Amino acid sequence: MTAATPQPCLLTVIFPVYDLRGDVVERVRRWTRGQDLEPGRYRVCVLAGPEAKFDEAGLHNVLRNHDLFVRLPSTGRDADYWNEGARRATTPWLLFVEAHAVPARDSLSALASWIDSGPDSPACNFRVQSRSDHRVTRLLERWFDETHAGWSSRATWPRLHRTACAIRRDAFEEAGPFEPAYGQFAPPLLSAHMHRRGQPVVMLPAAKILHEDLPVMAPHHEDTADYARGEAEARAANDPAFFEAYFGPSPFQTSEANHSPDRTRAIVFNAIGAILRRHESAKLLLPIIRRFVSAAIWGLPLRIWLLAAMTRLDEYAVMYAPVPLSLQWKRFLLAHRRVVHVEQLRWSTRNPPVALQAVGAADRSPIDKIDQQTILGVHAIEQFEAAPFRWTRPAFLIRVAFSGSAVLQLETRGLRGEIHPSEITVVANGRFIDDVTIDTEQTIAIRVSPRDQATEGDILVFTTEVCEPAAGGAPGRRLGLPLFSVSMQRVGA
């Protein structure tokens, strides 16, 4: 009787010794000894930094001959270890896992069966489960379930679950690797790159894995803050058209609450000064004052401290206070949003807005090349005849720097239709600028003299409103101008 030919090794489980929440030997044993898949069909690659302390001899006892342990020369994030494991893998499939996730006994056999079926998709997620033995873990279970369900909706695009996701090695090499500098945001960013290349991620319900949540809120909030920091850094480093197509418009372009007190105070004083010069402008400018006055009054350190203190109170309410489940859930969500807001405030403090500089007559700044904090009050990037543009709101601000007289040019290409100068109101340094002209191509030119502006500041632009038709049950946007480019041109240049 001829013995069956063993099947080739199919996949590598890449296990980072990072955020263990348990004993590394027992965690690895679940992968090497606790699976019902034929041992030769997969290998496990365990990676650890130089400072990781654990029972290394015990780890070698649970690793099999064809498994691998790598002690890296420098400490990194889980994404650093995932990337290194992928570089060392020789199998056609890679399974990236978190160290604190516990697989079901049949999870790898379910994955192998799916791969053997010849799937069209080059990636899949395990079905992530959570414990429900504590009030915090129950809330986390609900949050993860709703988040993952949202990722699977037809109205959006699928994302990799960092807890356990399998990717065909050639697809990972094409779209990847993970970008460790972005922390928790690295898997969503890789997901977007894969989706853009036509490499969808699917759910594999038969492959189950338990995510070990802790019965306290602090670790979840630390991960949330890390995600928000990573998203802000990635947004600044990536092409805006790509990034906004997947992650929406920048919060720094849509929310006045994410800017420094110095900037918001200058905006408020600018508007007040204009009202004092023309009392009839109060109706136009008071909404701007109301939008920015709170951020202008409270200094940034105090705002961050107050938001953090409110988050600590909500953590206590969620973990210990005798409150109804509905209130626990409400405080859980509010605290989550607050953590994100605080990180955005901190990021804007470290990364002040880049002011538009005066340039020569032939130089223009395409809207997709302008810093995300330079223009406040715009919608996400769109395309018109293959050219990127942004709709503004009816009131928007542009951060500019001056060195003598200059002309601020707003290129609209007539997309809104014909605009008359009477439909445009401009305020700078507490003064109204009346020198506004519009050429035949509907490029708006605003002449600014040194007395109209300090060395650096915001120009407020108001225009009559265009109401976008409602669609899909959602109200239409309030639109101002379609901006294809913005430039500051020196007079006489």
Which tokens hold the place of 97?
């896992």
> Among the CATH numbers 3.90.550.10, 3.40.50.300, 3.40.50.10190, 3.90.420.10, which is that of 11-213?
3.90.550.10
Rounded CA Rg of the chain = 27
Give how far the C-alpha of residue 363 lies from the chain's centroid of Cα atoms, to the nearest Å.
31
The answer to whether 144 and 224 are in contact (CB under 8 A) is: no
Which are the contacts of 295, defined by CB distance < 8 A and separation ≥ 6?
Answer: 256, 257, 259, 261, 264, 303
Helix, strand and coil percent figures for the chain, each rounded to 5: 40, 25, 35
Same fold, 11-213 and 358-490: no
pLDDT for the residue numbered 242:
93
Report d(CA 217, CA 135) in Å as an integer. Answer: 11
pLDDT for the residue numbered 172:
97
Containing 173, the helix (H) or strand (E) segment is helix 169-175
Highest CATH level, class, for 358-490: mainly beta
pLDDT for the residue numbered 267:
80
pLDDT for the residue numbered 10:
96
Domain ranges within the chain, ordered by starting residue: 11-213, 251-350, 358-490
Report d(CA 128, CA 108) in Å as an integer. Answer: 14
Query: Model confidence over 27-82: pLDDT tens digits?
Result: 999 999 999 999 999 999 999 999 999 999 999 999 999 999 999 999 999 999 99
Q: Which residues pair with 204 in a beta bridge?
A: 126
Is-cis flag, bond preceding 177, omega within 30?
Answer: yes
pLDDT for the residue numbered 11:
97
CA atoms within 13 A on the CB side of 231: 21
Q: How far is CA 454 from CA 401, 402, 429, 466, 492, in A?
A: 8, 7, 7, 31, 20
Which tokens hold the place of 329?
């859930």
Report d(CA 278, CA 290) in Å as an integer. Answer: 18
Which regions in the chain score pLDDT beneath 50? 1-3
